[in-house]
Structure 1
Amino acid sequence: METSNFLENGNIPNEANKSRCNWMNCCTLAALALLILVVVPLLIVCFLCLHSQSPKICWAHATSPSGGRDRYIIWKWNLTDCSSFVRNDSDQKLEILQSGMYFIYAQVTRITTIKEYFTMTLYKNQNILLNQMTGTNTEEDTVSINFGRPYFLSKGDKLFCSVNSGLGHISKENRTYWGLYKM
């Protein structure tokens, strides 16, 4: 009789079947616990890192040039997130507070015809020429010149720009500007 009971319930006795199910349940619970302990904190860290505030970019932009003393131009400055990188000093020079790569750009738009070439010059530390843009003296009323490129600037460098023949023929609106941003 015992043989038929053994065949009715399959090849595995009930006690062995129950112990295998308990072992598999324990393994499943252990894997689930490991998953919760490892993956969930990892997901939380990734979520916090990805959603943290992106680094702010220092951007200094000058517009609305007006005449100053000794060929200096007075600019209307907008400094965004630049407190530790750049500042505008009292002489209308842009002072670098932190060494690094900066992208400097400029545009000058001439709105009246003039006889000579018009030039905007960007200087570093009063006497080092960084860039000079020269426009044509064509018959056209409105002509723009522009440039943009990266420079390595050191802490303490002071930048300023000048225009060769005054601001009377230069657009003082949003078409004449210069600035930089920290790379």
Structure 2
Amino acid sequence: MPDRFRAPEDPAIRLTHADRDAAAETLKEAYAEGQLDEDEFEERLGLAIKAKFPAELEPLLSDIVPRRTGAATAPPRPDAPEGPRNGSERLWALGGHVSGYFLFPLGPLLVLLANGNTSPFVRRHAVEALNYQLTFLIGSIVLLGLSWLIIPVLVWIPMLLGWIFMPVIAGFVGLAGGRWKYPFTWRPVRE
């Protein structure tokens, strides 16, 4: 972590706009280099912008490896590959999405429990499928409770169409080794 973001001897000294901008730039570089995922980047950036004292920036930047200009970028770690290592992981990813048709959130949860700790690729897809199924189930229950109104029925129809088609699309993306994020999804379960 750069020395300018370490807590000074007098912790009552407040940050300047330039300090917050420099912290934001460090976070942007870490995100661009793949050290932070999108959700973590957005969360840390929001906290950095709201920080008032250097001690608030320290935990946001302490685990980020500083960028070395002119140095060759390190190859990806073998224990955390970007995509699936084998066809089995792709099938588990497909199963995580499609199992929601039969068991709603329980299907992706079972895939997550069965193979989520051994493969980051399967975990990412199972968590995304679980969040989508939870969103659909909770949204359906809420809209059913409000079904005496006309508008919830009109909202539920696109939700149902999305539930019919999007898990299949996401499953094929997982089978192809890609990454999928469901739109309009509440994400209470994190990777």
If the length of structure 2 is used for normalisation, what is the TM-score? 0.19
When Rg is computed on C-alpha atoms for both structures, the one with the higher figure is 1
The higher relative CO (CA closer than 8 Å, separation ≥ 6) is in: 1
If the length of structure 1 is used for normalisation, what is the TM-score? 0.19
Could you say which structure has the higher strand fraction? 1
